[in-house]
C-alpha cells in the first residue's frame, strides 16, 4: 500500500518538477537572449565580459548617453538594480510587483523606470517564466 502511494506521488511530482525546470530554462532564455537583461544588470569582469557567477545581481552601466545635455537625459540612471531574490528590489516589490512590472511596464507606484531601462510588456506566461528564472538565482 505504502509503495503504491509513493509511486503515485512520484508519478505526480516528477512531471511537475520537469515542468518547473522547463519554465526556468525558458525564463533564462527570455532574460538572456531576448531581453538581454544581463547587459545592464550583471556586473562585469575587469576584461569587460559579463560575470555570469553574479547573474543579475545589479551593476553600474559601462556606457552613458551621447548627448548628456538633452533634457530627457536628466533621467539617465547609471545603476541597474539587482533582480535576484537576494536584492533589495525583491524585498520592496515582492514577487507580485516584479511580475506585474514585466507585464505592464509600471512599477508598484504606477510609474515607469528611468532610462535606459527599456519598457517591456510581456505576456503573463513569459513574465512568470522570467520570475521563475530570477527565483532560481537565489543564493
Ligand atoms: C539597457 C540597459 C538595461 C537592460 C537591457 C535592462 N535593464 Fe532593467 N534597469 C536598467 C536601469 C538603468 C534600471 C534603473 C532604472 C530606475 O531605477 O528607474 C533598471 C531597472 C529595472 C527594474 C526596476 C524598475 C524600477 O522602476 O525601479 C527592473 C524590475 C528591471 N530593470 C528588470 C529588467 C529585466 C527583467 C530586464 C530584461 C528583460 C532588464 N531589466 C533589462 C537597465 C536595463
pLDDT score at 93: 97
Question: Which residues form ligand 1's pocket by a CB distance below 6 Å?
Answer: 31, 35-37, 39-41, 77, 80-81, 83, 89, 98, 101, 107, 113-114, 116-118, 120, 130
Angle at 60 (CA atoms; ends 84, 136), nearest 5 degrees: 15
| pLDDT tens by residue, 22-36 | 999 999 999 999 999
pTM of the model: 0.92
Distance 18 CA to ligand 1 centre (A): 29
Task: Provide the residue ranges of all domains of the chain, joining segments of one domain with +.
Answer: 25-136
Burial of residue 101 (number of CB atoms within 10 Å: 0-12, 13-18, 19+): buried
Distance 117 CA to ligand 1 centre (A): 4
Give the span between the Cα atoms of 44 and 51, in whole angstroms: 5
Q: Contact at 8 Å (CB) between 132 and 23?
A: yes
pLDDT score at 2: 73
pLDDT score at 18: 86
pLDDT score at 60: 97
Closest ligand 1 atom to Cα of 101 = 29
**1: pLDDT confidence band, cut at 50, 70 and 90?**
low
Q: Which residues contact 91 (CB under 8 A, 6 or more apart)?
A: none
N-terminal to C-terminal alpha carbon distance within the chain: 39
Give the span between the Cα atoms of 130 and 98, in whole angstroms: 10
Closest ligand 1 atom to Cα of 93 = 29
Q: Which residue has the cell 512520484?
A: 10
pLDDT score at 12: 78
> Cis link prior to 93 (omega < 30° from 0)?
no
Amino acid at each position: 500500500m505504502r509503495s503504491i502511494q509513493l509511486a503515485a506521488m512520484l508519478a505526480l511530482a516528477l512531471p511537475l518538477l520537469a515542468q518547473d525546470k522547463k519554465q526556468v530554462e525558458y525564463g533564462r532564455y527570455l532574460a538572456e537572449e531576448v531581453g538581454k537583461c544581463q547587459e545592464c544588470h550583471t556586473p562585469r569582469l575587469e576584461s569587460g565580459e559579463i560575470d555570469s557567477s553574479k547573474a543579475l545581481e545589479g551593476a553600474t552601466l559601462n556606457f552613458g548617453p551621447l548627448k548628456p545635455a538633452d533634457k530627457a537625459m536628466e533621467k539617465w540612471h547609471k545603476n541597474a538594480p539587482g533582480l535576484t531574490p537576494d536584492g533589495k528590489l525583491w524585498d520592496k516589490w515582492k514577487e507580485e510587483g516584479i511580475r506585474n512590472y514585466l507585464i505592464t511596464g509600471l512599477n508598484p507606484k504606477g510609474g515607469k523606470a528611468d532610462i535606459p531601462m527599456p519598457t517591456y510588456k510581456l505576456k503573463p506566461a513569459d513574465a512568470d517564466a522570467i520570475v521563475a528564472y530570477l527565483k532560481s538565482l537565489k543564493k
